Amino acid sequence: MSSYYASKTAFLFYLAGIFALIVFLDLVFTGNGVQFDVGRFLTDTSPYMWALLGVGFTIGLSVVGAAWGIFITGTSLIGAAVKAPRIRTKNLISIIFCEVVAIYGLIMAIVFSSKLNDAELADGEVWPKSAYFSGYALFWSGLTVGVANLCCGVAVGITGSTCAIADAADPQLFVKVLVIEIFGSIIGLFGLIIGLLMTSKVREFDTK
């Protein structure tokens, strides 16, 4: 395989990097360097954007993880069940473990979106600090839960595929490999717990 540094995806990154560099240098050389202001970006963007991005990441990344896990397990299960049809029903547990990951994401997305309310900001006013906290907390919790569920779904999927193949070869192996899968699915639960902890102090958006 050609090295990663020369592959097609790497070229896309190089292009994006060069474009960013050109924009940056343009700003600096035309005396507008002060426009590159991270602080202004953070205070000017509405906390709603962060909060809703968080909710989107929660459900989006969780579903990607669950789907990834299901296809990894499902293909091996179909193939192995041709020679050993007895494994079909038992190994649906692996699929269910992957599906549970998506449900975690769904629950957290519902919990997060219930913390949002539609507060209107009058002209010339700024959001109070609590609003910024709410926005950031929801964003990073969402990312936490989403990425944790993504990894969990993939882990459970790969182990589930091995479980199906091992079960087809020797029925005694099923429960043993299932234990490994259970350990893998706990990762998703960790993400859920931390997400809940982070957003427990989130108050609703308030213009005061």
Partner 1 sequence: MEALFFNVENGYLEAIVRGFKSGILTSNHYLNLTQCETLEDLKLQLASTDYGNFLQNEPSPIATTTIAEKAREKLVAEFNYIRANAVKPLATFLDYITYAYMIDNVILLITGTLHERDTNDLLERCHPLGMFDTIAALCVATNVQELYSTVLVDSPLAPYFEKCLSAHDLDEMNIEIIRNTLYKAYLEDFYNYCQMLGSPTSEVMGEILQFEADRRVINITINSFNTELSKDDRAKLYPTCGKLYPDGTAKLSKSDDIDQVRMVVETDAQYRQFFDLPVGAERSLEDKFFEYEVFLNKKSFLRQFHFGVFYSYLKLREQEIRNIVWIAECIAQHQKERINNYIPIF
Q: At what angle do helices 129-169 and 173-199 cross, to 10 degrees?
A: 180
| C-alpha pair distances (Å), 15 with each of 9, 12, 21, 75, 168 | 10, 5, 10, 37, 48
CB of 124 to partner 1, least distance (A): 51
Residues between 47 and 76 that touch partner 1 (CB under 8 A)? 68, 71-72, 74-76
Regarding 138 and contact with partner 1 (CB under 8 A), the answer is no
CA distance 56 to 85: 40
Identity of the residue, 52 or 181, whose beta carbon is nearer to partner 1 in the bound complex: 181
Under 8 Å between Cβ of 141 and 51: no
CB of 76 to partner 1, least distance (A): 5
Residues between 17 and 46 that touch partner 1 (CB under 8 A)? none
Of 4-12, 31-39, 132-140, 155-163: span binding partner 1 (CB under 8 A) = 155-163
- Residue 86, C-beta contacts closer than 8 angstroms, at least 6 positions apart: 171
Q: What residues line the site for partner 1 (CB under 8 A)? A: 1, 68, 71-72, 74-80, 82-84, 154, 158, 161-162, 164-165, 168-169
